[in-house]
Every structure is written in C-alpha cells, then in structure tokens.
Amino acid sequence: MNALYVASRYLRPDQRIVLVDRNDRPGGMWVETYDYVRLHQPHPFFTAGNVKWDFGKPPEHLSSKTEVLDHLRHCLDEAEKAVQVTELFGHEYQSSEEENDVVVVTCRAPDGSPVRIVADRLIDAVGFSIEANQPLRLSSTRVRSVAPETCDMRDGPIAADDAPVWVIGSGKTGMDTLHALITHYPGREVNLIAGTGTFFINRDRLYPTGARRWWSGARPNWFLAELANRFDGTNEYDVATWAREKAGLWATPTAAHLFIGLISEAEIERIRAGLGRTVMDHLLDAVDDGDGVRLTLRSGGHVDVEPGSWLVNCTSHFDFADRPSEPPYVSASGRSIRIGATGLFGFSSFGGYFLTHLLFLDKIRTVPLYTTDSIALFQKSPLAGLVSLLTIAQYNLGLVADHAPAKVFQQCGLDFDRWYPLPRRFAGQLQFLIGHKRRREQYRRALDTMGERFGIDHGPVIGAEMAPTS
C-alpha cells in the first residue's frame, strides 16, 4: 500500500496502476490474521504515505483488525483520487520478465486462467509474505490442536468448555492470545510453553500519553537508532541486553529473544496475574500415554496435561527455514524493484515508501543502498539478523536523506516520532541530520564484520550488482 500510494503521487491522472493481490481486499497479512489481533502501536503511524485515519479515536487507540482493514481500503481510495487503479484482487502473481523497455507480468486469475500485464515498471511488494499459522500436527488424539487464525479465542468451540489451554510460543501472537484468554475467561487454567522467552519494548516508555509527551518518554526513532549505534557486528547479545534493561517487558521468568514489538505494563501485569504454568522449553509433540497425555519437549523433558486440553499454535510467522535467498532489490534496468525480506529500511512498509520514491526519482540504481542475504542470516542467527536490519535501516535512511528531496521525509506518515510535539521531533531530526554521515562508516564496518562473520553476501548495491566488500 505504501508503494502504491507513493507511485500515485508521481503519476499523472491519465496513467494507470495495476494492483495484483491474492487476497479479496487490500490489507496483506491483516486479511488472514486472527480476528482478535490489534495494532501494538498508536494507530496514526500505521498508514500509507501520509494518509490520515478518518475516525475520531484518540491517537493512543490500538486499532482492531476491522479498523486496520477499513483504513487500508481508505488509503487505496485516496490513491485512486490521483491516478487510475485497476484492482485485480484474487489474482496471484506468478512471474515477470523484462522485454525491451517494458515488464511483462504473468498472474493467475481466481478461475485459474492466466492474466498478462504489460507495464513500464514493476514493484514486487510482497514484503515478508507472512502466512497464516495452521494447527500443530500432533500425535495425540486426546488434545485439541488449533491456531489463532482457525479458532477465535473469544468465542466458538474454545468457549464451550473450561478445559485447560496451552499457548505454544511467547511472541506477539502468543501475548495477544494469552491476553484474550485471560481477559475473557477469568480463572480458567491458561498455560504457556515459552521457548527461550521473548521480551518486548515498553509501549508506555516510547509512547507516553497526554502532556507527558512534552518531557518524558524515549523517542522511538532514538531508541531504534541507539540499537544500531551499539552494534559492532559481533555483539548482538550485548545490544539485546541493553534494550531489555532500557525498555524491556516480558511475561516469562526469563526472556532471551528480542522482538521489536510493543506491549504495555498493564498488559504484561494482566498476563502474569492470569497465567498458570510457564514452561521454558520448546514443544516437540503431544503423545497419548496410558489414560493421559504427555507433551514432549526439546530438552528431553516432558509435561503431563489433562486430556481434552487445547493447544494453540502461536509459534513465529517468520519462518525462514525453507526460503531461498532473494534476488537483488532492483533489476539491471531499474524497471523492477522488490520489497521483500531484505529489510533495507527495517520494516517492509518503510521499504515500500522509500524504494518507490527512489524508483520514481530515477535514483534506484545510483544510491548505493546496503543489503545483505537476510534470509541466510536469520537462518543462522535470528538475533544478529534483527540487529543487522536495524543497522542497515539507519545506514540506508542516511543515504536517502542525502539524495532525496526533504519532502520525502516530511511527508512520511510512518514516522514514529510524530507522536511527540514539534520541538522534540525537531531535536531528533536535527540529531539525525548532523549524525548520519558521521555514523555511516561505523555502520558499514559493523555490517561488513557481521557479513564476514556469518559468511553471507553483504554490501552496497551499485547499479544492480553488490559492490565488492573488500
């Protein structure tokens, strides 16, 4: 949606954008995700371009799935006021090929028939291509295995009895699920198999409400930049420790996994107060054992559970295990760009926004953005992958600031610091403008060190080729 909206700002009213989406409406992963999901950030900064939300909720409101989907439809409507948009919902992108001075895209229509599109440019904006979780495949016939996307925790079958619930996974989906269960069924036995535990960033710390925004809180942009500033290519655990001590919140006894997601102190306290058993291990299977059920764990241990228990699959949606490395984010001609898992700007929404600006400014092949084989890196070390993406984002944002008009940043409604009054935002902007060139070589050294350490492709892209790193 960010790529489409930015493109609509450059094109003439008589020009056309063809939107291809396998879903039946705009919204990406929000179309298929669980119904009780909410934004974890104040809603104004979850948008396309600088499109304002058109409802009267206070800025700290955490929008529901329905509200997010309605807003993304509104963003598309706003783009269609500036340019013609052909909506091909229910169509699945299959391949593309550049021929002479055009790009030929092949899609599959809902009835299976092929659809051919000839375009001047292609923006392959699938982002991380998040798939909905499915119930875990377990050996036991005496437990009920479900996933949030297939079973709403607030009603339906899981509400029809009071059997114990075991949530599998301590990430964002796990916290949402625990919060929904504990809120809707006070006193019900709700347990957690947490892996190594996940810690989140304190929303109250980054987004204080009311007048406190004038003097308290840590600006989100400062916090993300500080994570990058502390990274030297080898010390991702030290960076994570600093984040945990500075603004971390978690519901488990320990928390080793860093997730750049937000949660409030009140939510954590509610989860802790209502949570039964917490097992710091990874689930392998559920097996019938005599008249009971035994959960087998990666450590070799086990947990006996009551027959009829519910097991909810809240493991990570970010599964890089079987994904191939991605092609470069720009083709040799500069006509095609890819906004995938390369994480050039940390978040795919920012990638859609800034890469599309560079495309239409004819600078997509001349600004040497830094990239890595992020899929290979996440397969080797999720924590190093996350900290590296935050560092790459700072490096690349500095390059965009040097090569793009100031309005590209001024009109970026995704800017987390917009939560704060203008004087505090201006101080942050000034700090970024003064410091990004000075920090650039530091970021480059850290990223080169990280790439060499893990043996993955890394470096700035010049034209459509990765520059030598030596």
pLDDT digit string, tens, across residues 120-166: 999 999 877 777 889 999 999 999 999 999 999 999 899 999 999 99
Residue 358 in this model has a pLDDT that exceeds 50: yes
Q: Is residue 402 part of a domain?
A: no
Residue 446, domain member (yes or no): no
Structure confidence by residue, pLDDT tens digits, 384-394: 999 999 999 99
Asked if the model's pLDDT at residue 469 lies above 90, the reply is no
pLDDT in tens, 63-87: 999 999 999 999 999 999 999 999 9
**For the chain, what percent of residues have pLDDT higher than 70?**
96
Q: Is 206 contained in some domain?
A: yes
Q: What is the mean pLDDT of the chain?
A: 93
Separation of alpha carbons 139 and 145, rounded Å? 10
Domain count, the chain: 1
pLDDT value for 156: 83
Higher-pLDDT residue of 372, 297: 297
CATH number, domain of 272, equals 3.50.50.60
- Would you state the pLDDT for residue 466? 64
pLDDT of residue 461: 86
What digits encode the pLDDT tens for the residues 161-197?
999 999 999 999 999 999 999 999 999 999 999 999 9
- What is the reported pLDDT for 417? 95
* pLDDT per residue as tens digits for the range 222-253: 999 999 999 999 999 999 999 999 999 999 99
Whether the predicted pLDDT of 263 surpasses 60 = yes
pLDDT in tens, 312-338: 999 976 665 555 566 688 999 999 999
pLDDT band of 470, cuts 50, 70, 90 = very low
- pLDDT (tens digit per residue) in 200-225: 999 999 999 999 999 999 999 999 99
**What pLDDT score does 327 carry?**
67
d(CA 318, CA 176): 17
Residue 436 domain flag = no
CA distance 329 to 338: 5
* Cα distances (Å, whole numbers) of residue 124 to 3, 79, 265, 341, 378: 9, 18, 38, 12, 22
Mean pLDDT along residues 89-115 = 95
Structural domain includes residue 177? yes
pLDDT attached to residue 464: 61
Determine phi and psi for 190, rounding to 5 degrees: -125, 120
Which residue range is the domain that position 216 belongs to? Answer: 144-313
Residue 253 lies inside a defined structural domain of this protein:
yes
The answer to the question of residue 292 being in a domain is: yes
406 CB-contact burial (10 Å; exposed 0-12 / middle 13-18 / buried 19+)? exposed
| Distance separating alpha carbons of residues 355 and 339, to the nearest angstrom | 8
Residue 136 lies inside a defined structural domain of this protein: no
